[in-house]
A and B are shown apart, each in its own frame.
Chain A
């Protein structure tokens, strides 16, 4: 059974339809890359998956929670679905260690020691063990983003949603973040990644979703074939533009 399932989902902002008739099933363990031009609805689609955006039409089920039902317990869902943002959004008032341990302590009721031990393991994994007691503003963007990934992982989620995790980074920092994402991908995590990193989408991803004007135009289970030659003309155009540069 799929972990995330969209059936005829629509989403509007007033008159404007940001998502149109979305049908999409994502299985446990899949690495899905969402690509497409600016304003095509990629972020909106991703943010519906943990309820940061509400849907207006259709049915959306994530980890057995029906997000089309207004009575759904959204906090429970979010324990199992993490999110990594373009601008990191680390808690500015907390140290790196506290950033990682806060939700496990409060939401999962882990005791401080247990949460900190787990956090130190994650810090080691993202290569930032020595930064534990600093504040987010003392770290570079690439370091902050790796912490954000560790913070998500600390909740032991079933899936992590990434919204352009490398777009705000200096080029020399992108590699470190992508490496951490690759490592997470290797741990059988379900990942949905809105990205402009075509290399990551091709090499690490299992699946490509191409969006335009609020619709899924192409859904390919073969990223290498997709990047060689997409079926949809709009996707061909898009790729020639991004890769041409």
Chain B
């Protein structure tokens, strides 16, 4: 095990960095997209509501791999060339955002409608009321389920391996196939994923405690 780490350290580090980088892109992107589509889903406007529902239903009900392959194969064929890393990260963003939209929608709906009514009666527009009063409270409520989504996201980033995204899992496959040390390679990689997800999980719990106090 030590020899694998010694001999393939640069490759493992590159993989780890790419996994972190891809996860960060997807985390920020899916949080923004998820919030926007959650707002669509509960919008007073019928068309926006329809778009929001359609987006969520479509993207959470098809496999992540299919979404990623669309960006890796279909989009480059007709629109713009993107590499495996970007295709994987975009696919991961969109897939995760559908789940995050549901989480945030539930959070918004859990905030009593009196908060929105008070803000509107105070002269603020719908969006101002959402932004300053309702959303901050909704986010607080959904920190635990959001944390679960983020952990899933980091693990799901291993999808990049399928599209030559040079992530941790991709490097693992390549190391395993050259060294034939399959068990040990995947054990190492598994531990590296834990090193990413455990602090994230700890941080989300810390955030939850800090905010509820």
| Residues of chain A at the chain B interface (Cβ within 8 Å) | 50, 52, 75, 78-79, 81-83, 85, 87, 89-94, 102-103, 106-108, 148, 151-152, 155
A98 → chain B closest CB, angstroms: 9
Q: How far is the CA of A87 from the CA of B114 in the complex (A)?
A: 8
| A90 near B122: Cβ-Cβ < 8 Å | no
User: In the complex, are the beta carbons of A107 and B122 less than 8 A apart?
Assistant: yes
Residue of B nearest to A83 (CB): B121
Contact B122 A151 (CB under 8 A): yes
Question: In the complex, which residue of chain B has the Cβ closest to the Cβ of A50?
Answer: B121
Decide: A93 near B133, CB < 8 A? Known: A106-B128, A155-B123: yes
Q: For the complex, give the distance between the alpha carbons of A50 and B123 in Å.
A: 10
B76 contacts partner chain A, Cβ-Cβ < 8 Å: no
Q: Is B152 at the interface (CB under 8 A from chain A)? A: no
Q: How many residues of B sit at the interface, in one of the four size bands?
A: 10 to 19
Residue of A nearest to B128 (CB): A106
Of A52, A78, A87, which one neighbours B123 at CB under 8 angstroms? A78
B121 — nearest CB in chain A belongs to which residue? A83
Contacts of B115 in A (CB 8 A): 89, 91-92
B173 neighbours in A (Cβ, 8 Å)? none
B137 at interface by CB-CB < 8 Å: yes
A79 contact set on B, CB distance < 8 A = 123
Return B118 CB to nearest CB of chain A, in Å: 4
By the criterion CB–CB under 8 Å, are A91 and B124 in contact? no
Q: Which residues of chain B come closer than 8 Å to A148, judged between CB atoms? A: 118
B118 to A78, Cβ gap below 8 A? no
Assess whether B119 is in contact with A91, with CB atoms less than 8 Å apart. Answer: yes
For window 134-188 of B, CB contacts with A under 8 Å fall at: 136-137, 140
The interface residues of chain A lying within 8 Å CB-to-CB of B114 are: 85, 87, 89
Determine whether the beta carbon of A103 is less than 8 Å from that of B140.
Answer: no
CB proximity of A169 to chain B, nearest CB, Å: 16
Q: How far is the CA of A90 from the CA of B132 in the complex (A)?
A: 13
Known contacts A103-B122, A107-B124; 9 further A-B pairs (Cβ under 8 A)? A75-B123, A75-B125, A82-B121, A92-B115, A93-B136, A102-B133, A107-B123, A148-B118, A155-B122
- Cβ-defined contact, B137 with A103, below 8 A: no
B132 neighbours in A (Cβ, 8 Å): 91, 102, 106
Report B-chain residues with C-beta under 8 Å of the C-beta of A87.
114
Interface membership of chain B positions 110-130, coded 1 if the CB is closer than 8 angstroms to chain A and 0 otherwise = 001011011111111100100
Residue numbers in A under 8 Å from B128 (CB-CB): 106-107
Contact B122 A102 (CB under 8 A): yes
Say yes or no: A91 contacts B123, CB within 8 Å: no
Contacts A85-B114, A106-B128 given: A91-B121 contact, CB under 8 Å? Answer: no
Residues from chain B with Cβ under 8 Å of A78 in the complex: 120-123
Asked whether A85 lies within 8 Å of B117 as measured between CB atoms, the reply is: yes
Tell me the minimal C-beta distance from A118 to chain B in angstroms: 14
